[in-house]
Amino acid sequence: MRKAYAKQRRLGSVPIDQVELNLECRDSIIPVLRALQHVYSDAALTQTAHDLIGQGVNGNARTDCGREGMDYWHLLVLASVRLECNLTHRRSGVIPILSC
């Protein structure tokens, strides 16, 4: 029973499409984050991505029952960053905060 993403934002949070990125930074994650901002800002593109992720994750399982898992948006972000930055599951810890 996954959701596309939580529509209700937390207090004090900045919308994804309004996060300022340091475009002068040469780190490989910046283009990925910019592409994700573009996907997030286009509702049709976001819906298409969520549909494709839902088909891949859920398969033929029922979507109206079961525990809540990670949102489709979180799956998209984590998979995109992992693939672009060539991260492996063996790497310990989380992605460090970038300071360019």
Which residues fall within 8 angstroms of residue 73, CB to CB, at 6 or more apart? 4, 5, 40, 46, 50
Position 18 scores a pLDDT of: 86
Position 94 scores a pLDDT of: 53
Position 92 scores a pLDDT of: 46
In the chain the beta strands, taken as DSSP E runs, fall at none
Phi, psi of 49, deg, nearest 5: -60, -40
Position 82 scores a pLDDT of: 85
One pLDDT digit (tens) per residue for the chain, 100 residues? 566 666 667 788 888 888 898 988 888 889 999 999 999 899 899 899 988 988 888 778 776 776 777 888 888 988 888 888 877 766 545 555 444 4
Which residues fall within 8 angstroms of residue 28, CB to CB, at 6 or more apart? 84, 85
